[in-house]
Structure 1
Amino acid sequence: MSKDKPVPQGQTETSAVATVLASLAPFRPKLLETLPGYTRTHFARDVGAGLTVGIVALPLAMAFAIASGLKPEAGLFTAVIAGFLISALGGSRVQIGGPAGAFIVIVYGILERHGLANLLIATVMSGLMLFLMGLFKLGTLVRFIPIAVVIGFTNGIAVLIMLSQLKDFLGLSLEHPPAGFFAQIEALRLTLHTVNPAALGIALGTLALVVVWQRGLPGLTSDGRATLKTRVLSSRVLFAASRLSVVPGTIVALILATLITWALNLPIETIGSKFGGIPATLPSLAWPAFSWDGVRFLLMPAFTLALLGAIESLLCARIADGVCAARPPEGAPTGAREGAGRSTSEDRHDPNQELMAQGVANIVTPFFGGMPATGTIARTVTNAKSGAVSPVAGMVHALTLLAVMLVAAPLASHVPLAALAGILMVVAWNMGEWREFAHLRQYRLPYRVTLLAVFTLTVVADLTVAVEVGLVAACLTFIYRISSLTRSETVPQARPGVLAWRLYGALFFGAVKLIEDIERQLGEAGTAATTTRVLVLDLKNLLYIDSSGADTLRDLQRSCARQGVHLVLCGLSHQPLDMARRAGLLAGLPEENIRPDLAAGLDRARALAGAD
């Protein structure tokens, strides 16, 4: 007769490691899935989309860096390096990565409080957090962040971006704007008399041109009423408008503002006068000053960067999935539905792979003088609508920026900061969900309180505090809502001495008061003329029991034992049954007192009451 041999400790440890490794997300970039069936037609579409997005990203990359308190080349280096890595390693076919407006306030605050070296370290730390989030398959958990927190946070950041651009928008003589909301308001008030009319004119003209370009030209070339209203225009004008609408309005506004400033020699601050221009060289590797003592102060800023980067990138990827799915098949290359250009459910983004790619990009970019990077909604949508079918488009976008930076860097010295401020005003307005404020009355009080609290704290306090308070408020709201859905009701039956209750919902730490109320009524009934001899609990409609709920049931069981009351449990199944077994609740009851349904439980209760 053979006996089982003990497993060696080394083999046990190996199997445990293998189990852990099997539970991790595989590192498989979306680029690898696009290579089979990739054709020259697909490559041509990707190159066209990449060139378009590269032109769109050029002014935004510089503007985001300057608004964050960094030199313009920091934004360009980030758009090139992080943009290439996010596309090459990411989990989306059309996602474009790079510096984003949502990071402006956070980066500026870290830079003011901790310095440039610690900003780079915090960025690397956030990259490690993002990579681990993806590796341990936490990408789907980011979707559970309540929309009220996301909207309040985004709208608050949009307000802060607008506020930070007022200095350059108005051309004020303010060398080092403070980071705090009230401090900025006071600094702007004290320097309001130094408004530069030339800078204000350039900023207003840039803002107006970008808005008209975005909303006016599409109306001229769209179908429906807009076309009917413009029939008085000649066909040549309509044809020219359709061609112009392809050109990014930000580039047109930036070029015109630069030419006007240079031709008229306007007294306006430019990239050259403020930063000395942009280097026409490749970024070089540099190791930031590192101190273990300072790392502990960077944990929360790094976590804020990682959390916001995860939210932005996955939200952007979801929007990109929708845009790709809505693209009409007409005009697509032959075989696009079978190759790299399809938009079926299997081509939706991989959130875990996307987070790992974002993590790698944020780990690598700071060593080349870059800033935090994430998915960018405006550039991603532009990429998808321009016909991109694979991550190659994003890689082309990065190479386009690199080529422009190496060739046209001297021309960037003449770009007025007021024009970049006007562009950022439009970007900030577009990133905000302003209609949600008008619709607040349609929502319940907890939603309104959460959104307004996160928005207010983001603007007047601190972004990290806003995230913390928003998540806590969301958790408390969730607990309240779930506890309000958990209820109990008495089950009428004619047998004296029998008390029956039916429970609904989830029995967790926020709803244990239901069991406590039953225990209290049981004690009160014990002093009445008709003493309760049997307590029946129907748990068929109970979906979940946590450890606190199981402990409360154990307390009720002990209370029944002290008072000589028989406890009968009915309808336990799935998770509640498993929790009851692990908590020892079933072991303390006779097997006959555990019944499959309420009818059987009441029969058992009547038998016990009759026997007593």
Structure 2
Amino acid sequence: MKLEILGEYSVHHLKKDVLSGIVVGIIAIPLGLGFSIASGINPVTGLYTTIVAGLLISIFGGSRFQIGGPTGAFVPVLLGIMLQFGYENLLIAGFMSGILLIIFAICKVGSLIKFFPQSTIIGFQSGIAVIIFTGQIPNFLGLHNIDKSKYFYLNMKEIFENLTKVNIYSVITAALCLLIILVVLHFSPKSIGISYLLGILFSSLISSMLFSGQIETISSIYGKIPNQLPIPHFPQVTIDKMITLLPSSFVIAILVGLQSLLTARVADEMTQSKHCSKRELIGQGIVNMVTPLFHGIPAAGEIARTVTNIKNGASSPIAGITHALFVLFVLLLLAPYASYVSLASLAPVLMLVAWNISKREQFSTILKDKSTHSLILTTTFLLTVFTNLTVGIGAGLCLSLLFFLKRRMKNNHNELKETK
């Protein structure tokens, strides 16, 4: 499919792809840093993931518009695995999820995506948005010494108990970043990546000049960002570890597949094209087997970057490859400067990302319906927020199945009565 597209390729297409790749790369840098920090991981792993996953999914994936990398949907899952098992075991779980994704592809699981209830999808996406948004409150307020938990209510309790320790300099820095982003978007609604970048750069620069030593930066918490890719390495794997991490890897695989296929479906609708679900899952499997070798976290197709890619005129996988190479270029040349970015400047960016993925309109529409769909939505949402994503999706699917069986039994009963 991709070779057929490239057969009609021209210099005009190449220019569009390169430009789109650079724009998406600008968006990917702060998101890669931010999603890693929100997941309790060193921020540079987000850049490694963006580079490796972004390159490989453009080469092996089933959609020519898909942009792969770290996503907000993984934040609560990765944070939970990090807190329970640690970073090296997270890499193993990510690798195992890649194997599972290839098995899913061989079993043609991708075709089942069309049967996934919309109420469940919107419920868990909205739940993830709440977790990401509230997870950035400590960085916004400068509360960097509080305990992190995998449970939403414990994190909120910790924030409320430490409100007296709010760092006013962090609040000013975060508010300035948010203001810059909103002003840029007001005058140029399509400049999402530029607005994020300008907000982070200017607020970090001003805070370093006026509040030097008063707020936390990437380097003060995580150390300086190295300007090189790591040497491929994989932690020691044992049978016991594999058995222990199998449930986590299964959750990651399900989430990667769901996120990637939904994003590919959105890309199809925008471009009147058609992706190959089997190839997409195989591509995502390869991505998540290779990325851990470069210290990267699990990755999937990401809707904001994919939509931006399409809106900027991309027509082939070259745009995705360009986006990965652009981030690599920035890592090699500008990584030391990224170390001075304030954590307060990243908080508004992730809060806006959470706001944009929250599905507010669809959530409200289904909720007002007051039907079985609204019950499934509410259950999935609340369990995703207050327990975890696995329980939320599982409960949503079980409820959907129960209501489906109930309708079938009722229809069969009515048909039987009519026959009599």
Length-normalised TM-score, structure 2: 0.95
Structure 1 counterpart of 2:252: 305
Shift of 1:136: 2.4
Structure 1 counterpart of 2:269: 322
SS of the aligned residue for 2:334 comes to helix
Q: 1:212 to 1:131 in 2, by over 3 A?
A: farther
**Equivalent pair of 2:368/2:374 in contact (CA under 8 Å):** no
1:484 paired with 2:400, answer no
More helix by share: 2
**Which amino acid letter does the alignment assign opposite residue 61 of structure 1?**
G
1:384 paired with 2:354, answer no
Structure 2 counterpart of 1:249: 195
**Equivalent pair of 1:86/1:97 in contact (CA under 8 Å):** yes
Cα distance in 1 for partners of 2:210, 2:368 equals 52
Cα distance in 2 for partners of 1:441, 1:461 equals 21
Structure 2 counterpart of 1:189: 160
Structure 1 counterpart of 2:336: 410
Q: 1:64 to 1:173 in 2, by over 3 A?
A: closer
Residues 2-41 of structure 1 aligned to structure 2 (within 5 Å)? 30-41=1-12
1:459 paired with 2:385, answer yes
Structure 1 counterpart of 2:67: 96
Q: 1:489 to 1:368 in 2, by over 3 A?
A: closer
**Which amino acid letter does the alignment assign opposite residue 124 of structure 1?**
F
Cα distance in 1 for partners of 2:4, 2:102 equals 21
**Which amino acid letter does the alignment assign opposite residue 48 of structure 1?**
L
Cα distance in 2 for partners of 1:247, 1:117 equals 32
**Which amino acid letter does the alignment assign opposite residue 298 of structure 1?**
L
**Which amino acid letter does the alignment assign opposite residue 225 of structure 2?**
I
Q: Deviations over 1:297-331 (max 9, x none)?
A: 22222121111111111111111122224xxxxxx
Q: 1:154 to 1:245 in 2, by over 3 A?
A: closer
1:431 paired with 2:402, answer no
Cα distance in 1 for partners of 2:171, 2:31 equals 20
Shift of 1:247: 6.0
The more displaced of 200-209 and 159-168 is: 200-209
1:292 paired with 2:239, answer yes
Q: 1:147 to 1:57 in 2, by over 3 A?
A: same
1:473 paired with 2:419, answer no
**Equivalent pair of 1:173/1:191 in contact (CA under 8 Å):** no
Q: Which has the higher contact order (CA 8 A, sep 6+)?
A: 2
**Equivalent pair of 1:323/1:385 in contact (CA under 8 Å):** no
Cα distance in 2 for partners of 1:33, 1:85 equals 19
Shift of 1:211: 3.1
Structure 2 counterpart of 1:283: 230
More strand by share: 1
Structure 1 counterpart of 2:129: 158
SS of the aligned residue for 2:7 comes to coil
Cα distance in 2 for partners of 1:255, 1:120 equals 31
SS of the aligned residue for 2:231 comes to coil
Q: Deviations over 1:122-160 (max 9, x none)?
A: 111111111221222221102211011111111111111
Q: Deviations over 1:22-42 (max 9, x none)?
A: xxxxxxxx4333232222222
Structure 2: 5+ residue stretches without partners: none
**Which amino acid letter does the alignment assign opposite residue 234 of structure 2?**
W
Shift of 1:379: 0.7
**Equivalent pair of 2:366/2:377 in contact (CA under 8 Å):** no
Structure 2 counterpart of 1:124: 95
Residues matched between the structures, number? 419
Q: Deviations over 1:449-487 (max 9, x none)?
A: 111111111111122211221111111111112222223
Q: 1:246 to 1:420 in 2, by over 3 A?
A: closer
Cα distance in 2 for partners of 1:271, 1:57 equals 17
**Equivalent pair of 1:271/1:277 in contact (CA under 8 Å):** yes
Structure 1 counterpart of 2:108: 137
Q: 1:397 to 1:441 in 2, by over 3 A?
A: closer
SS of the aligned residue for 2:226 comes to coil
Structure 1: 5+ residue stretches without partners: 1-29, 220-243, 326-346, 491-500, 504-536, 538-612
**Equivalent pair of 2:173/2:204 in contact (CA under 8 Å):** no
Choose the corresponding residue for 2:170, options 187, 199, 207.
Answer: 199
Q: 1:461 to 1:43 in 2, by over 3 A?
A: same
**Equivalent pair of 1:271/1:416 in contact (CA under 8 Å):** yes
Shift of 1:210: 2.1
Cα distance in 2 for partners of 1:173, 1:50 equals 34
Q: 1:176 to 1:285 in 2, by over 3 A?
A: farther
Structure 1 counterpart of 2:14: 43
**Which amino acid letter does the alignment assign opposite residue 256 of structure 2?**
G
Cα distance in 2 for partners of 1:483, 1:248 equals 55
Shift of 1:257: 1.3
Choose the corresponding residue for 2:187, options 202, 213, 217.
Answer: 217
Q: Deviations over 1:2-56 (max 9, x none)?
A: xxxxxxxxxxxxxxxxxxxxxxxxxxxx433323222222212111111111111
Cα distance in 2 for partners of 1:489, 1:349 equals 39
Q: Deviations over 1:98-121 (max 9, x none)?
A: 000010010000010111121111
The more displaced of 75-84 and 465-474 is: 465-474
Q: CA RMSD in A?
A: 1.8
**Equivalent pair of 1:304/1:467 in contact (CA under 8 Å):** no
Q: 1:118 to 1:272 in 2, by over 3 A?
A: same
The more displaced of 76-85 and 169-178 is: 169-178
Shift of 1:71: 0.7
Cα distance in 1 for partners of 2:217, 2:4 equals 44
**Which amino acid letter does the alignment assign opposite residue 324 of structure 1?**
T
Shift of 1:253: 0.5
SS of the aligned residue for 2:227 comes to coil
